[in-house]
Amino acid sequence: MSARSAGPRHVAYRLAAGLAVTLSIACNVAAAQDVAIAGIWLPDASRSQRFPAQPPFTDEGRRIVADWRASHDPIEDDPGKFCQAPGMPSLALGGADYPVEVVVTTRQVTILMELHQQVRRVFLDQDAHPARLFPQRNGHSIGRWDGDTLVIDTAGIKAITFGSVPHSDDVHVVERVRAIDEGTALLNEVTITDPVMYAAPVVVQQYYRAAPPATRMLEYECTEGMWADHEAERAGAEPTAE
């Protein structure tokens, strides 16, 4: 037997380590099942507020949006045509008719959005954002529990002018997420602060209803049409819908 072979002591160590991992996973799963916000939810437009059509723009914010609209054709330059997901804060509001799955563990809440297969990771084991954040579409989210309410603080969001919430990369979002109506609904109170774009914080209430028990999340591949366009061009075909 070589020195690297598993002797009785090694086997015991491995068994102990395996048991610890199993217990850890079991605890996380148990945590997920016990938390009321966990599960699959459907946006409830009948109760939700919309981001205001006339938000309190700063002069700079109004100019940024006007410049975007003046330089982009609403039909030809639709970001959706290019599978562009607007990211946060837009994805905290609505999500069309697509479900959202909330997975809760002790260290992280993971929000899986079917639309555009977006993923948000809310880190529960960090008290602060990193000092230097590279702005990304969904930003960097840290969370804490306030009773049964998950409080999410998101920063480091990349500036995007399209979507339901035009914003700069100074935007800061605080969400308070809790189950209501005896666990049949979810309320997210979203506070959006962006000193570049908005003269005052904008607060929006987004509601969800529990998805029917048989609901399963689906994949959402968005780029097949763009690939088809490319293939059509390669074949020399005339695009039929442009």
Partner 1 sequence: MRRTVLAGPALALLLVSAPHSMAHHSPAAFNLTVTDFAISGEIEFVEMRNPHSVMELRVANDDGSTTHWDIEFSSVNLLLRRGWDFERIKAGDRVTCIGNPSATGRSEMYMWSIVLADGTEFGR
**Residue 45 makes contact with partner 1 by CB under 8 A:** no
Min separation Cβ 73 and partner 1, Å: 9
Task: Name which position in 40, 86, 114, 155 contacts partner 1 (CB under 8 A).
Answer: 114
Shorter beta-carbon distance to partner 1: residue 75 or 128 = 75
State which of positions 55-94 bind partner 1 (CB under 8 A).
74-75, 78, 80-81, 83
State which of positions 134-163 bind partner 1 (CB under 8 A).
none
First vs last Cα of the chain: how many Å apart? 72
> Is there a cis peptide before residue 8, judged by omega within 30 degrees of 0?
no
**Token couple for 96:** 């069309």
**Residue 50 makes contact with partner 1 by CB under 8 A:** no
**Residue 235 makes contact with partner 1 by CB under 8 A:** yes
Distance CA(82)–CA(93), nearest Å, equals: 21
**Residue 232 makes contact with partner 1 by CB under 8 A:** yes
Min separation Cβ 82 and partner 1, Å: 8
Which of 157, 138, 121 is CA-nearest to residue 87? 138
Distance CA(52)–CA(203), nearest Å, equals: 9
Distance CA(231)–CA(169), nearest Å, equals: 36
In angstroms, the Cα distances linking 180 to 37, 48, 191, 215 are 9, 14, 19, 20
Distance CA(1)–CA(150), nearest Å, equals: 54
Min separation Cβ 131 and partner 1, Å: 37
Task: Name which position in 60, 67, 148, 221 contacts partner 1 (CB under 8 A).
Answer: 221
Q: Under the rule (CB under 8 A), what is the footprint of partner 1?
A: 74-75, 78, 80-81, 83, 97-98, 114, 218, 220-222, 224-225, 228-229, 231-233, 235-242
